[in-house]
Structure 1
Amino acid sequence: MENIVLIIHLLLALALILSVLLQRSEGGGLGIGGGGGGVMSGRPPTTPMAKVTWILAIGFICTSLALTWIATRDSAGSSVIDRVGVETPAPAGGSTGGAGGIALPPALDGGDLTPPAPVPADGAGGTSGSSGASGPAVPPPAE
């Protein structure tokens, strides 16, 4: 159903473009310059091409609304925000990290969200990394 409406929509769009381009340019914006309308009116008479353009425009708007309705009906109950937390499959190259081989921070990669243990300010607690604290070894501050 959606494909049929989409094809009709595209055909209407092309026909609307052609009908607008085929019309004769009046050159009088906002009705300036008179026209061949009635005795006292400044509006030109409606040509058959203008009527076709109006019909195509109304059809285009109707198919736009129909496509919008179909899209919202098919995705009822789901949101783009609901799809943000979906896990992506690991890349085949064996690399770790996010999409495209780009390494993401753990918070974005679905890893552990706990912060690393703080390092004492006085340099105590062993700087060789043997203290069992997670994180890289930090040398004591220079005096």
Structure 2
Amino acid sequence: MENVILIVHLILAVCLIGIVLLQRNEGGGLGMGGGGTITGRAPTTPLGKLTWFFAICFIASSIALTIIAAENAAGSSVVDRLGGPAPAAEQEGAAQEAPATEPGLLPPAPVVPSDTPAAPPRAD
């Protein structure tokens, strides 16, 4: 279902871009110029109505994709997907296990025990 909505969303995005590019340039930015009416509102054209339709459908599909993504990600974290323990969940002084890695991820860095003395600095 998510893939279908995603494909529809992409089609709506391309259509919205095309419809906006087809419209007449009224010159001036931020609503200045064009129209020629006292209120400053441009007359409603079929392209304008079609733009509103595609914009509303695009926003609705964006909200639907957000809801579906939130349901799929409930209870999971990016840190969980990496396979490493969460920093807040680590206990001080406890032995750490090497986390299992997913295919395509780099292996974890080796853990150095805290009771090992650091190498003295070299005098050159």
So what's the TM-score if we normalise by structure 2? 0.70
Question: What is the identity percentage for the equivalent residue pairs of Structure 1 and Structure 2?
Answer: 53
Q: Does 1:82 align with 2:80?
A: yes
Q: Does 1:33 align with 2:24?
A: no
The code of the aligned residue for 1:33 comes to G
CA distance in 2, matches of 1:82, 1:90: 14
Q: 1:8 to 1:75 in 2, by over 3 A?
A: same
The code of the aligned residue for 2:106 comes to A
Q: Describe the superposition over 1:44-97 as per-residue Cα deviations: whole angstroms up to 9, x where unpaired.
A: 111110111111011111101101110110121111122231521689xxxxxx
Q: Please tell me whether Structure 1 or Structure 2 has the larger radius of gyration of its CA atoms.
A: 1
So what's the TM-score if we normalise by structure 1? 0.61
Gaps (5+ residues) in structure 1?
Answer: 92-97, 108-112, 120-135
**Partner of residue 67 from structure 2, selected from 52, 69, 89:** 69
Residues paired across the two proteins, number: 107
CA distance in 2, matches of 1:34, 1:43: 9
The code of the aligned residue for 1:50 comes to G
The code of the aligned residue for 1:8 comes to V
The code of the aligned residue for 1:115 comes to S
CA contact (8 A) 2:5 2:65 kept: yes
CA contact (8 A) 1:19 1:52 kept: yes
CA contact (8 A) 1:36 1:45 kept: no
Gaps (5+ residues) in structure 2?
Answer: 85-98
CA distance in 1, matches of 2:103, 2:57: 46
Q: 1:89 to 1:42 in 2, by over 3 A?
A: closer
CA distance in 1, matches of 2:102, 2:30: 58
**Is the partner of 2:10 in helix, strand or coil?**
helix
